Amino acid sequence: MLENEKPRRAFGLAATGVLAGCLVGAAGLVAVAPVASAAACSDVQVLFARGTGEPVGIGRTGQAFVDSLRGDLKGESIAVSAVNYPASDDFMQAVAGARDAAAQVQSFAASCPATSIVLGGYSQGAAVVDLITADPAQTFGFGVPMPPEVADHVAAVAVFGNPSQKIGRPLTANSPLYGAKTIELCNGADPVCSPGDDRAAHSLYPQAGLTDQAASFVADRVKGHSSGAPVDEMSAAVTPR
């Protein structure tokens, strides 16, 4: 999310139920056939969803997180992919982001089963991650986000400024498969994810050191992660230090 993004709009994603209304009946993700060869597989694959209004790519918060993660995982090859979605003020498009993210994750898992997948998202992008990882009963009627066996390939999840925290549904508490491997950070009184009203805080995750904190958490879990089961066979909220 850019410096001039309006947090109250992102907050509306959770507080007014805009996203809830548009997700009903959006189930039915389609797995994507493998697209990478074993030779092209990296040790770690990061998939990040940017915030509202950020240019195409992984966004400023996502880039700070990835840069820090590279420093924490020196010697490991790290590939990075962005969720392809508008990230606009039309929060209905978060569903499109969820579909794209779920398809990418399943493709990574099928193509490179030994790769440790890391999921990340900021603001509206955090909501996208919620939609593919949270308990289906808690994701506003979205349905089953991804096949359960895909979770074995995901080493860690990092979300920043997650709107679901604002309404008492943090990913860490509402995802049986991913909650324990998730770090969910809210910057002080960021109104998008807390009862506070420090709007500037929503744009300051890198400056507050929270992308570094998330990278440290993720790196520890990547180091201890073991994946490899073929796809076809196949959490506690953190307070900023």
- Taking alpha carbons only, the member of 77, 107, 83 closest to residue 222 is 77
Burial bucket for residue 50 (CB in 10 Å: 0-12, 13-18, 19+): buried
The catalytic residue among 152, 190, 225, 235 is 190
Strands of 116-122's sheet in order across: 78-82, 44-49, 116-122, 154-160, 182-185
Helices 124-133 and 7-15 pack at an angle, to 10 degrees, of 30
Q: Are 44 and 118 within 8 A, CB to CB? A: yes
- HEC sequence for 159-189: EECCHHHHCCCCHHHHCCCCHHHEEEECCCC
The catalytic residue among 107, 111, 123, 164 is 123
190 included as an active-site residue = yes
The Cα 155–Cα 134 span in angstroms is 15
- The β-bridge relationship of strands 154-160 and 116-122 is parallel
Burial bucket for residue 10 (CB in 10 Å: 0-12, 13-18, 19+): buried
The catalytic residue among 116, 202, 203, 212 is 202
Q: Are 49 and 100 within 8 A, CB to CB? A: no
Which two tokens mark 9? 């709009």
Instruction: Provide the annotated active-site residues.
Output: 123, 190, 202
